[in-house]
């Protein structure tokens, strides 16, 4: 009676699909950062040239009106990454998403900039006259919260515009406001990630914009996409 010893199986290692998926992520992130820099070229250039952007915050806030459509473009590239994996074409997806969502995303961006400008001026006035304006100390936190809600609502709505291109902007805004309030922890995480991106862009404009935005925006997109799909499933 012969005993046949079974040969141990060799680990084949990661397959082609795994490498393709990894390459798709890296390619999308690198291309996304370049496309974001190009789409927001005036803002990036001024950040690189001005030594103290905080001192000229109204000017930089006005330049940030280009961010809305560029977010729609990068979110569209992330959506294509989820659908196509390693076969993703991030440049084409970005440009198509930018074009399709430009009107709605630009309107959201302009509205957010106008609101933040209004809140920023009010905050500056209150801080300079805290002793003479009654209740100024109580109004400052309210203004900060209003600014945080404005940013969270705008970014979530832009993600909604990309996810639901046929939906009316008013409906997307209502759904986004609901999600921002219901899933406040995701909104808080979003603000932290956006703060990291903004800090990197201000401290190291070239290196920060070349490396930081896309991976962190992908996390924001994933959370927003999950929140929208969860609401749609329960509707």
Per-residue pLDDT tens digits for 112-125: 999 999 999 988 88
* Structure confidence at residue 190 (pLDDT): 96
The span from the CA of 43 to the CA of 120, in Å, is 19
Which residues are within 8 A (CB) of 48 and not within 5 positions of it... i.e. 6 or more apart? 205, 206
Residues above pLDDT 90, as percent of the chain? 59
71 compared with 132, residue with greater pLDDT: 71
174 compared with 10, residue with greater pLDDT: 174
The span from the CA of 164 to the CA of 72, in Å, is 12
Query: What is the CA 213 to chain-centroid distance, rounded?
Result: 8
pLDDT per residue over 146-160, tens digit each?
A: 999 999 999 999 999
According to DSSP H, which parts of 164-234 are helical?
169-182, 184-203, 205-211, 213-234
Residues above pLDDT 70, as percent of the chain? 86
According to DSSP H, which parts of 50-183 are helical?
57-63, 67-84, 90-128, 136-163, 169-182
Question: How crowded is residue 10: how many other Cβ atoms within 10 Å of its Cβ?
Answer: 6
- In the predicted structure, residue 39 carries a pLDDT above the cut 90: yes
- Under the banding of pLDDT at 50, 70 and 90, the label for residue 20 is low
* Structure confidence at residue 84 (pLDDT): 67
- Under the banding of pLDDT at 50, 70 and 90, the label for residue 234 is low
pLDDT per residue over 42-64, tens digit each?
A: 999 999 898 888 888 999 999 99
The span from the CA of 224 to the CA of 182, in Å, is 12
Q: What are phi and psi of 204, to 5 degrees?
A: -135, 80
- In the predicted structure, residue 13 carries a pLDDT above the cut 70: no
Q: What are phi and psi of 207, to 5 degrees?
A: -70, -40
* Structure confidence at residue 6 (pLDDT): 46
Output the CA–CA distances (angstroms, integers) from residue 145 to 125, 128, 149, 150, 152, in the order listed.
17, 19, 6, 9, 11
* Structure confidence at residue 26 (pLDDT): 87
Burial of 13 (0-12, 13-18, 19+ CB in 10 A): exposed
69 compared with 5, residue with greater pLDDT: 69
Instruction: Please state whether the predicted TM-score (pTM) of the whole model is above 0.85.
Output: yes
Mean pLDDT for 180-208 is 91
* Structure confidence at residue 15 (pLDDT): 47
Mean pLDDT for 90-105 is 94
């Amino acid at each position: 009676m012969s005993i046949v010893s079974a040969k141990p199986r060799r680990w084949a290692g990661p397959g082609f699909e795994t490498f393709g998926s990894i390459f798709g992520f890296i390619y999308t992130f690198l291309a996304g950062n370049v496309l974001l820099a190009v789409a927001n070229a005036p803002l990036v250039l001024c950040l690189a040239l001005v030594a103290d952007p905080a001192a000229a915050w109204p000017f930089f806030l006005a330049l940030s009106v280009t961010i809305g459509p560029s977010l729609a473009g990068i979110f569209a590239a992330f959506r294509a990454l989820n659908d196509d994996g390693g076969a993703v074409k991030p440049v084409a997806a970005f440009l198509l998403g930018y074009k399709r969502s430009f009107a709605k995303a630009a309107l959201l961006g302009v509205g957010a900039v106008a609101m933040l400008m209004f809140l920023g001026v009010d905050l500056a006035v209150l801080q300079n006259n805290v002793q003479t304006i009654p209740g100024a100390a109580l109004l400052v936190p309210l203004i900060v919260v209003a600014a945080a809600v404005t940013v969270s609502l705008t970014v979530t709505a832009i993600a909604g515009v990309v996810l639901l291109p046929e939906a009316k902007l008013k409906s997307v805004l209502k759904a986004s406001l609901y999600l921002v309030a219901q899933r406040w922890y995701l909104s808080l995480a979003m603000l932290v990630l956006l703060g990291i991106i903004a800090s990197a862009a201000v401290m190291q404009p070239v290196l920060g914009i070349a490396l930081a935005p896309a991976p962190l925006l992908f996390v924001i997109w994933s959370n927003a996409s999950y929140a929208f799909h969860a609401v749609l499933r329960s509707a």
